[in-house]
Structure 1
Amino acid sequence: MKHITFYLDFISPYAWLAFERLPEALVDLSYSVEYRPVLLGALLQQHANPGPAGIAPKRAWTYRHVTWLGHAQGTPLQMPARHPFNPLPLLRQALACSYDGCINRYVAGTVLRHVWQGGHDALDAERLAALAADLAEQIRPGHDANSEGPKALLRANTEAAQAAGVFGVPAFVVDGKVFWGLDSLPMLRAYLEGDDWFDGPGWNAVSQLPSGLPAKP
């Protein structure tokens, strides 16, 4: 049985879509999943990537695209009242439910639905209080969203993701291989099924391909 580490940030609509799609995409396969929240902004900053929200036309396209994908996939998705937003309160709230940086599927789904269903403000104070109440039975003794434990777990998760070569979310890491994005799920399935393409040069050769652009000064 293969083990998958699913790196996600609740700010990402693609993480929500992939979270909902994953069970169907991998149906009938033997695998386990651990969900690890990370700070997407830190992953983007590491590679000087502004992300879709940093490019106005791409931002508008991304919001149209994910709304359509939700419709096509049958996953309820409404853009929150403000986006992007600071995801730290949500990440820390989720990690208050963990001792080791992993959260269960119930916690991940509860926070993702908080953001991506209903079109509300993800950081509204009353809604954050309601979210904490929904997760109350999951919170670890001595932890809360503002304690040092969740903050340290978030840093550790983000650093582990960076070390693994994760550059965005959603990302699925298995056997040291990184599969990025909602549209990588068919490729992930093929790997788990033992597709012999992964034993050939196709995976590693591309990293040796020279660039035709001049080096940055």
Structure 2
Amino acid sequence: MKHLRFYFDPISPYAALAFERLPEALQGCSYSVEYRPILFAALLHAIGQKGPAEIESKRQWTFRQIAWTAHKLGIPLQVPASHPFNPLPLLRLAWACAPVGGTPNRLTVETIFRHVWQGEGADANAEPRLQALQEVLEPQRDPASEAVKEDLRTATEAALNAGVFGVPTIEVDGRMFWGQDSLDMLAAYLRGDPWFEQGEWEAAARPRPGVRRGTH
């Protein structure tokens, strides 16, 4: 059995789609999943990038593609009233639902994703909705506690140190599979596709020095 780490932030529609599709995509594979909420904005800051929703033309394409993908997969996704939004209350709630030293379970993560992406287009951070969500999830700890905040910080830093640069990312055997569209590739790896053992994985990623911006 392979152990997967699913890094996500509920702000990401791609993470929501990957979460919903994961059981079907990996059907027949032997695996367990550890869900790790992390702060996507911290990844972007660390690597010096803007988020897709911060570039207008990219935002338009992102949500057109997301709408098409959800339609194609039969997933009832609706974009929240405000996006991007501050995901910290949801990330902290996820960690508050986890046992000390553990991670949130799939039901917790599902409930949070669907609060955002299947909430009939409502504001993900509307106070009455957040309160109702917390009542449903019944967290074991106070989401505003320093211990919970530290869990989120530690998980995000660990993800950065492991080489995670975006969400969703699924880690298995030290290999990173990024994006909703990498699930088929992940499934092939779990099923023992020989491509991964023939050096192709390493060869494809080797450095190829070339022209860089800001250099002559």
> What TM-score range do you get, normalising by the shorter chain?
over 0.9
**Equivalent AA in structure 2 for residue 4 of structure 1:** L
Matched position secondary structure for 1:173: strand
1:167 — aligned with what?
Answer: 165
Percentage of pairs with the same residue: 55
How do residues 1-217 of structure 1 correspond to structure 2 at under 5 angstroms? 1-98=1-98, 99-100=100-101, 102-117=103-118, 118-136=120-138, 139-140=139-140, 143-214=141-212, 216=214
- After superposition, give the CA deviation of every residue in 1:136-178 in whole Å (9 maximum; x if it has no partner): 1xx22xx211111211110111111111111000100000000
Q: Deviations over 1:59-107 (max 9, x none)?
A: 0111111111111111110000000011001000111011235110000
- Runs of 4+ in structure 1 deviating by more than 4 angstroms, as ranges, are none
Structure 2: how far apart are the matches of 1:50 and 1:213?
A: 22
Quick check: 1:36–1:101 contact (8 Å CA) kept in 2?
no
Q: TM-score, normalised by structure 2?
A: 0.95
Q: Deviation at 1:201? A: 2.1
Q: How far off its partner does 1:25 sit?
A: 0.3
How far off is 1:204 after superposition? 1.3
SS of equivalent residue, structure 2 residue 205: helix
Superimposed CA distance per residue, residues 47-69 of structure 1 (whole angstroms, 9 cap, x where no aligned partner) = 11102112110001111111111
Q: C-alpha separation between the residues in 2 aligned to 1:70 and 1:81?
A: 18
> Any unmatched runs of 5+ in structure 2?
none
Q: Which runs of 5 or more residues in structure 1 are unaligned?
A: none
| Distance in 1 separating the partners of 2:149 and 2:53 | 25
Q: Quote the offset at 1:216 in angstroms.
A: 4.6
Letter in 2 for 1:135: L
Distance 1:192 1:216 in 2: 41
Q: Given residue 85 of structure 2, which amino acid in structure 1 is its aligned partner?
A: F
Cα 1:101/1:42, change in 2 over 3 Å: farther
Q: TM-score, normalised by structure 1?
A: 0.95
Question: Is the partner of 1:130 in helix, strand or coil?
Answer: helix
Secondary structure at 2:167's aligned position in 1?
coil
Q: 1:201 to 1:76 in 2, by over 3 A?
A: same
Give deviations 1:173-199, integer Å, cap 9, x for gaps: 000000000100000001001111111
